Structure 1
Amino acid sequence: MSSTFVAYLTVGNYLLLTLLWSAIVVLYLRSRRLARSVDPLVATLAAVLALDATKSAIESAYFGVVWASEYEIALTALGAILARPEMLIAPKILNLVTAVTVLAVIVRRWIPRELRERRERAESDARLRRELEASLADVRAAEERWDLAIRANQDGIWDWDLTTNRVWISPRLEEQLGYAHGELAPRFGPEIWKDLVHEEDAEQLGAAREAFVRGTTRDFDVEVRLRCKAGDHRTFRARAAAQRAPSGEALRVVGSLSDVTEQRRVEASLARRRSIERLGLVASGVAHDVNNLLAVVRANVELARTTTSSDSRVAAALADIDDAVTRGATLTSRLLASTGRGRFAVTEVDVGALAQEMTRLLAGSAPRAVRIETAISRPVPTVEADAAQVQQVVMNLVTNAIEAVDPEHGKVRVSVRAEAVREPVPAAVADEAALPPGRYVVLEVDDDGVGMSDAVRAQMFEPFFTTKPEGRGLGLAAMLSTLRAHRAGLRLRSAPGQGTTFTVLFPASERASQEARPPRDIRARRSRCALIVDDDESVRTAVSRMTELLGLEPRVVGSGAAALDVLDEHGELAVVLLDLRMPGGFDGHDVLLRIRERRPELRVVMMSGFHKFVPMSDARTTALQKPFSMEQLRDALARVGVEVGPFEAANEAPRGA
């Protein structure tokens, strides 16, 4: 390679470097504003590069001129000057100046800006971190609040994603169905849901669900029975809301389950009680009017017996009429007992003796192979009750037990005992308040018959429900009303194939039966006037005739207000025969209260065809149920200490003569 080529190559190299570095400087000058607006850091780095490029361009031009002069290519005089030793320090100074300038740019512009940007980024990161932590705290609080809300809520929650067909359920829903937490949730899905639904509700629920998912209906609120882990079914109210696509079809459904089993049971019980109450209102009104008519018939039969001849045919006819009155009174009594309005004549009742006698009578009609046993403990305290209604309770229980057992080898056991109960006594039905602990007389009827299913037990006290082919289903309904009226408790044990045990608990009486009798020294002897108070004129007439035959002087009024006026005017009265149910603002109870305020010593006989309970608060008050005979009226007057003349019905004849 010739020296000329090397010379030109060297000078050309410096010239090219000069051009390149100069081009970089020009590019920087043209784009510095854009670089500053886009990124200050890039603009600073570009300025440093431009300074270095300027220094490099000057150095390249400097050494290019020196070498061009050295090789005698061009600029010989300028090159000779620049080649002097003292001039060679210029590039060194230029490098130093450039380095200092670059350092100044970096220190003054890049480092502060970088530090400021770093600080701003750190502050921004810290702010973002705080915001993120606050957001996470809010999310955690929302999750905790949601979790507490789910736990506190008595409803079970479920979430069904229709796009993935996945279902989530809350722990409360598992608890409602009798499962432990996590026992049902992992495998819960639409198929499991279908298995839980009662077969009778599946079609209705499926139709409601399909309509809701399609968007045909916007509300989902249905009641459904679901099978619990134990195998029983409970009633739930299912409600839901949906997230929908623009077409209206549901994409996600969130709902709740409310257990309404107890609520529906109470509502059904209340409806049954209201039905019985309505029936009772009608029955009591009919019975009152019928008993008033029967009272007139019986009173006139008694009068006819005292005035007719000794013709046996007339006496037999009167006896038949009296029997018909008795049967009619029995029918009204049973009707009222079935509606809870049958308690009237309260006395001291020996439940043991009554049960033993009734069992002996019913055993005669039982199949020969059925064994009926009695176990009556002694002594057993008496109870304050209506003997006829307690007798009806025993008859219903024993009759049902006999019909439930196998006629070939069945067994019925009737027992009566006293029991000191230390725990609250269950009421006759589950939705009523329990009775307080205390001393009770326990009547128990046990059989080894077919027993009762849960469905039968749920309906056995309904007035018109029966499992008997003859359709006789009023007995237990009447018994329930009797137990309610006497504030008696009831325990029941029964299962299909395991027999049935009814345990009735009557509160033991706190007073001896003798206390119901008045002392002999308080009998009324001075006055013979009897005030008869009844709103029915025919009853007033009939009762006044009966009192005349008993040696009393009747005075009749038709209202409670008129009776109070007579009390104020007439100082001497032997007794008041007072109807219990009267219109006009004062019924028998109101008049009795005012009598006790004004004349506490006055004897009162409460008469009623409306078998309502009359409290025997003292020995001067007793009760008499319509229709009543002359003998029953005489006994009632004697109970309150009113002496009457002897009465013997004329022309008595054997029944059916």
Structure 2
Amino acid sequence: MADKWEPIFIMNLKQTAVRMLLGIARHAGLEVDACEHAETEIALRESEEAYKTAFDNSGDAINILDEDWKILDVNKRLLQLSGYSKKELIEAKAVILFPSVGRAASQQRRKRLIEGKLQLFETILVTKTGQRIPVEVQPASLKNWRGRGRVIQANIRDITDRKRSEEVMLTIQKLESLGVLAGGIAHDFNNILTAILGNLSLAKEDATASPGLRALIVESQEACVCAKGLTHQLLTFARGGKPVIHVLSLAQILEEVCIFAARGSTSKCVFSIDEKLLPVMADKDQLSQVLQNLILNASQAMPEGGIIRVSASMATLDEREITSLPSGRYVRVSVKDEGVGIAESRLLKIFDPYFSTKAKGRGLGLAMCHSIIAKHGGYLGVDSLMGVGTTFWFLLPAATSLDLSPKTEIASIKMGSGRILVMDDDPMIAKVLSRLLKRLGYESEIVVDGKEALEACQKAAAAGNPFDVVIMDLTIPGGMGGKETVRKLKALIPDAKVVVSSGYSIDPVMQEHVNHGFSGVLPKPYRVVDVSKALSAILNPHPHSTGKDG
């Protein structure tokens, strides 16, 4: 250590002595040319030392090139970034680090640099191991570097993190655009389904329909309900949304969803479901999404095929087992594959958005699954062993006795009477809803937007024949929609009863309709029984039931 610092100490001592002698000579009025020359040399040496210190300790990688792009010097950061030794780089051409920059481009950049026109640019630095690193290069022209003529100093900054952030932002923007597109598709698709499902429910109630025809109608209705579930899944993926919670038996959906998700792959699902499995409080569509993603991951982990073991059992947790969950009874579902497994270093990031173990993966599937399970008050975990396989598992709170009561009411058509105002800009929907209302015993009037609805309600109230209920479409393109209209209507008629209807099933207004001034909610698509239930819950005129579901 003494050897390292001794030359620096001696040099500093000499510099101090020269400056003292120079001061004495000037004070005495003596010739000081020699001393001034020595002082100049000291200043130059100090400047060189300061430059070398800054050069070696810069956070940016730096190399010095001659006008033929031959490397004359490099700093420590460049050696760290490139993986080369100083001996390997000195006297080599810059192409060793930037092979993508062709000869013509190099000559053009050199010319622009000499002219003082070359600015900051981005390129790719290739390391000794072949790794490609995005970098930002700030070139500058230096004169008389170490006695040479003009040289080029290139400051090189690793911009990997910035590029990754830009990619993430671009992905987010694409997802936001997808959300707008998905919302429009879901809205229009649900409007079409509403016309189909509404007319099917009316056809089913036709007394002249034969049993065979009724069976076909029921199958068609079930297909429409499945299509509705697909639009809900699309909205959940693209826009998020709170789960619409119902008592749900996992035993009933596990086999159906998992077998469907594995269809088309070379893998086979094998099930082990506890006969005493309790129901959970969950959104069926969102939970189906989770299961589909986990089955898809398991299938992709076994490209040559294999067994996917799906199990469901009861579990009792205390507060120490999983700190994010309260103690209690849970339903545990696991999906186990026989793939190559996931490295331990990657398991910590497996649920991070945009992290993927697949070459073409976007890293969104598991992040979405984690979000959905968390919103249900549960926990999603993973266990993996290299060469053996991976198990994804999740816990959901088991339904309590309070959740299970009262018993689910059997859907039935309840007749009624009264005047209903329908606000919908889609003639097809308005016509179907008018038919359904007539079937239920109601009179109806149709308007296309909020302005017409307010005028119709005021006119009816002034005539002493007000509407009993107003059914409003939430979104009216180019016009006043349900959210704004209900606020203005309540200001005019405080006791007005309003039902909000929309194909945006996960819209916050649909999920928290009471907070927005609505008395009830009617999601699209709907059947005659759904309209009956929404109206009878508000009017409650004690109508008689037909005893049929619609």
Instruction: State whether TM-score is above 0.5.
Output: yes
Alignment partner of 1:396 out of 254, 268, 293: 293
Distance 1:346 1:529 in 2: 30
Alignment partner of 1:287 out of 186, 207, 210: 186
SS at match of 1:158: strand
Partner in structure 2 of residue 223 of structure 1: 123
Identity of aligned residues (%): 21
Distance 1:376 1:461 in 2: 36
Alignment partner of 1:261 out of 147, 151, 160: 160
CA shift, 1:541, in A, is 2.4
Q: C-alpha deviations, 1:178-203, integer Å up to 9, x for none? A: x8xxx9557654669777x5xxxx64
1:634 matched to 2:524: no
1:205 matched to 2:81: no
Going from structure 1 to structure 2, the CA distance change for 1:583 and 1:222 (only over 3 Å counts) comes to closer
Distance 1:216 1:407 in 2: 56
SS at match of 2:239: coil
Aligned residues: 484
Question: Does the Cα contact within 8 Å between 1:606 and 1:622 map onto a contact in 2?
Answer: yes
CA shift, 1:309, in A, is 1.5
SS at match of 1:205: coil
Question: Does the Cα contact within 8 Å between 2:267 and 2:308 map onto a contact in 1?
Answer: no
SS at match of 1:273: helix
Question: Does the Cα contact within 8 Å between 2:425 and 2:449 map onto a contact in 1?
Answer: yes
Partner in structure 2 of residue 536 of structure 1: 426
Distance 1:335 1:402 in 2: 22
Going from structure 1 to structure 2, the CA distance change for 1:550 and 1:369 (only over 3 Å counts) comes to closer
Going from structure 1 to structure 2, the CA distance change for 1:260 and 1:593 (only over 3 Å counts) comes to farther
Amino acid at match of 1:204: S
Amino acid at match of 1:607: S
Question: Does the Cα contact within 8 Å between 1:516 and 1:618 map onto a contact in 2?
Answer: no
Amino acid at match of 1:160: L
CA shift, 1:630, in A, is 1.4
CA shift, 1:592, in A, is 4.7
Residue pairs, 1:390-429, within 5 angstroms: 390-402=287-299, 404-405=301-302, 410=307, 412=309
Q: C-alpha deviations, 1:131-151, integer Å up to 9, x for none? A: 965985697489658856986
SS at match of 1:223: strand
Asked which structure has the greater CA Rg, the reply is 1
SS at match of 1:204: coil
Alignment partner of 1:581 out of 444, 457, 475: 475
Question: Does the Cα contact within 8 Å between 2:334 and 2:391 map onto a contact in 1?
Answer: yes
Question: Does the Cα contact within 8 Å between 1:338 and 1:477 map onto a contact in 2?
Answer: no
1:239 matched to 2:138: yes
Distance 1:139 1:390 in 2: 72
Going from structure 1 to structure 2, the CA distance change for 1:626 and 1:393 (only over 3 Å counts) comes to same
Distance 1:377 1:597 in 2: 53
Question: Does the Cα contact within 8 Å between 1:551 and 1:645 map onto a contact in 2?
Answer: no
Going from structure 1 to structure 2, the CA distance change for 1:283 and 1:294 (only over 3 Å counts) comes to same
Distance 2:390 2:207 in 1: 55
Distance 1:277 1:240 in 2: 38
Q: C-alpha deviations, 1:176-232, integer Å up to 9, x for none? A: 56x8xxx9557654669777x5xxxx6413547743576488647232154499x96
Flag structure 2 segments of 5+ consecutive residues without an equivalent: 1-23, 408-414
Amino acid at match of 2:244: V
Going from structure 1 to structure 2, the CA distance change for 1:311 and 1:608 (only over 3 Å counts) comes to same
Going from structure 1 to structure 2, the CA distance change for 1:222 and 1:625 (only over 3 Å counts) comes to same
Superposition RMSD in Å: 5.8
Q: C-alpha deviations, 1:487-519, integer Å up to 9, x for none? A: 75977788985644557799999xx869999xx
Flag structure 1 segments of 5+ consecutive residues without an equivalent: 1-117, 426-436, 518-524, 653-657
TM-score between the two structures when normalised by the length of structure 1: 0.56
Partner in structure 2 of residue 615 of structure 1: 511
Residue pairs, 1:246-645, within 5 angstroms: 252-307=151-206, 309-312=208-211, 314-315=213-214, 318-319=217-218, 322=221, 325-326=224-225, 328-330=227-229, 332-340=231-239, 343=241, 346-348=244-246, 353-354=249-250, 356-361=251-256, 372=271, 382=281, 386-402=283-299, 404-405=301-302, 410=307, 412=309, 445-451=335-341, 499-500=389-390, 502=392, 528-566=418-456, 570=461, 574-593=468-487, 604-613=498-507, 614-616=510-512, 618=514, 622-637=520-535, 642=540, 645=544
CA shift, 1:233, in A, is 5.2
SS at match of 2:29: helix
SS at match of 1:610: coil
Q: C-alpha deviations, 1:19-70, integer Å up to 9, x for none? A: xxxxxxxxxxxxxxxxxxxxxxxxxxxxxxxxxxxxxxxxxxxxxxxxxxxx
Amino acid at match of 2:530: Q
Q: C-alpha deviations, 1:250-299, integer Å up to 9, x for none? A: 95221122222122222223323333333443343233233223312322
Question: Does the Cα contact within 8 Å between 1:299 and 1:543 map onto a contact in 2?
Answer: yes
Amino acid at match of 1:629: R
Going from structure 1 to structure 2, the CA distance change for 1:403 and 1:130 (only over 3 Å counts) comes to closer
Question: Does the Cα contact within 8 Å between 2:416 and 2:441 map onto a contact in 1?
Answer: no
Going from structure 1 to structure 2, the CA distance change for 1:481 and 1:413 (only over 3 Å counts) comes to closer
Going from structure 1 to structure 2, the CA distance change for 1:370 and 1:531 (only over 3 Å counts) comes to closer
Going from structure 1 to structure 2, the CA distance change for 1:357 and 1:404 (only over 3 Å counts) comes to farther
SS at match of 2:525: coil
Going from structure 1 to structure 2, the CA distance change for 1:294 and 1:402 (only over 3 Å counts) comes to same
Partner in structure 2 of residue 166 of structure 1: 72
Amino acid at match of 1:270: M
Query: Which has a greater percent of helix?
Result: 1
Amino acid at match of 2:475: R
SS at match of 2:526: coil
Question: Does the Cα contact within 8 Å between 2:63 and 2:73 map onto a contact in 1?
Answer: yes
Question: Does the Cα contact within 8 Å between 2:232 and 2:506 map onto a contact in 1?
Answer: no
Distance 2:47 2:127 in 1: 35
CA shift, 1:391, in A, is 1.6
Distance 2:140 2:276 in 1: 64
Q: C-alpha deviations, 1:435-461, integer Å up to 9, x for none? A: xx7869997645341457999x99x99
Question: Does the Cα contact within 8 Å between 1:487 and 1:506 map onto a contact in 2?
Answer: no
Going from structure 1 to structure 2, the CA distance change for 1:594 and 1:187 (only over 3 Å counts) comes to farther
Going from structure 1 to structure 2, the CA distance change for 1:278 and 1:122 (only over 3 Å counts) comes to same
Distance 2:364 2:370 in 1: 10
Distance 1:612 1:161 in 2: 64
1:123 matched to 2:53: no
Distance 2:365 2:490 in 1: 34
Distance 2:436 2:203 in 1: 11
Going from structure 1 to structure 2, the CA distance change for 1:156 and 1:369 (only over 3 Å counts) comes to same
Distance 2:226 2:65 in 1: 67
